[in-house]
């Protein structure tokens, strides 16, 4: 079983829809990252969370440490949001800041 599980693997939405991508992990963590990878391959760091909720524009990320779960929400989705969204965690024991465990990603396609 992967330590970081994302769902769904693939998601197709219509422009304007509210989107939720989920990330569950089975280990204790000190931080969780949400990353966006566009079709060209470039990766952008969207959020780093250790508790609570963060918001940036139309993107909202939440984390529930007790339930070992995080969600990434996109409001009023747009075709330019089409990308692979990747969840990554840093373990809370051992390992360095760079030693992240990555989920396999959620491929989002937003249709006009």
Partner 1 sequence: GAGVSQSPSNKVTEKGKDVELRCDPISGHTALYWYRQSLGQGLEFLIYFQGNSAPDKSGLPSDRFSAERTGGSVSTLTIQRTQQEDSAVYLCASSWGRTNEKLFFGSGTQLSVL
Which residues contribute to the site for partner 1 (CB under 8 A)? 30-31, 33, 35, 40-45, 47-48, 50, 86, 88, 90, 95-105
Residue 50 β-bridge partners: none
Beta strand 10-14 with 106-111 is: parallel
- Pick the closer one to partner 1 by CB: 14 or 50: 50
Closest approach of partner 1 to the CB of residue 14, in Å: 28
**CB 88, CB 6: distance < 8 Å:** no
- Pick the closer one to partner 1 by CB: 14 or 51: 51
Closest approach of partner 1 to the CB of residue 80, in Å: 19
**Which residues have C-beta within 8 Å of that of residue 35, sequence separation ≥ 6?**
43, 44, 45, 46, 85, 86, 87, 88
Closest CA to 10 of 112, 74, 104: 104
- Pick the closer one to partner 1 by CB: 44 or 76: 44
- Pick the closer one to partner 1 by CB: 17 or 101: 101
Closest approach of partner 1 to the CB of residue 15, in Å: 27
Residue 1 β-bridge partners: none
Specify the 3-state DSSP secondary structure of 80.
helix
Closest approach of partner 1 to the CB of residue 38, in Å: 11
């Amino acid at each position: 079983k992967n330590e970081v599980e994302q769902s769904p693997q693939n998601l197709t939405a219509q422009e304007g829809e509210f989107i939720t991508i989920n990330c569950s992990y089975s280990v204790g963590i000190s931080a969780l990252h949400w990353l966006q990878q566009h079709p060209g391959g470039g990766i952008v760091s969207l959020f780093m969370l250790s508790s609570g909720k963060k918001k940036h524009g139309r993107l909202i990320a939440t984390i529930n440490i007790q339930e070992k779960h995080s969600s990434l929400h996109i409001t009023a989705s747009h075709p330019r949001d089409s990308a692979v969204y990747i969840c990554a965690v840093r373990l809370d024991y051992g390992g360095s800041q760079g030693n992240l465990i990555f989920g396999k990603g959620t491929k989002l396609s937003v249709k006009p």
